[in-house]
Amino acid sequence: MIIAKTILILEDDLKTLSKILSRLAKLEEDQPFYFSLVVLTDYLQVENYINNNPKAKFDIILLDRDCKLAGSFHVLDLERFGTDKVISISSVPEWNVEAQKRGVTKVILKDYQYLDDFADKVVKQIEEIVRKMPLIEDE
């Protein structure tokens, strides 16, 4: 049985998002799993749809800062979802430092001049996380 690896992507830049998604599609090819994605582009969605949803569960979380609304995706309840699942991907070093202060250990600085390299690093980190996960879901 093919199972899903659920990824919550908190990213407000569509160009960055497209780079990550194209690489995830390549990673997913010929795997015994598929990616189930939840993509949110503003922090209000996190407050309204994720933090208040008791059924929300994610294997991996990409955590950016929501620059468009001048808020922050850091409103995500990291303690509930687990900092071990989070990859901080901000282009602003201070936001990555904030995530680290909250217990996040995986950090990739986003550089808009080198988005392809950035996306490669993000998907490599996702691949490492997935490799450590069981291939069969617990009943």
Residue % of the chain over a pLDDT of 70: 96
Report CA 51 to chain centroid distance, whole Å: 15
Q: Is the pTM of this model over 0.85?
A: yes
d(Cα 69, Cα 82) in Å, to the nearest integer?
25
Place of tokens 């949110």: 40
Residue 41 has pLDDT above 60, yes or no: yes
- Residue 138 belongs to a domain: no
**Dihedral sign for Cα atoms in the order 23, 44, 48, 99:** positive
- Domain total of the chain: 1
Q: What is the CATH number of the domain that holds 52?
A: 3.40.50.2300
- DSSP characters for 47-72? IIIITT-TT---SEEEE---TTTT--
pLDDT at residue 139 in the model: 43
- Residue 73 belongs to a domain: yes
Whole domain around residue 112: which residue ranges?
3-131
Average pLDDT of the chain? Answer: 91
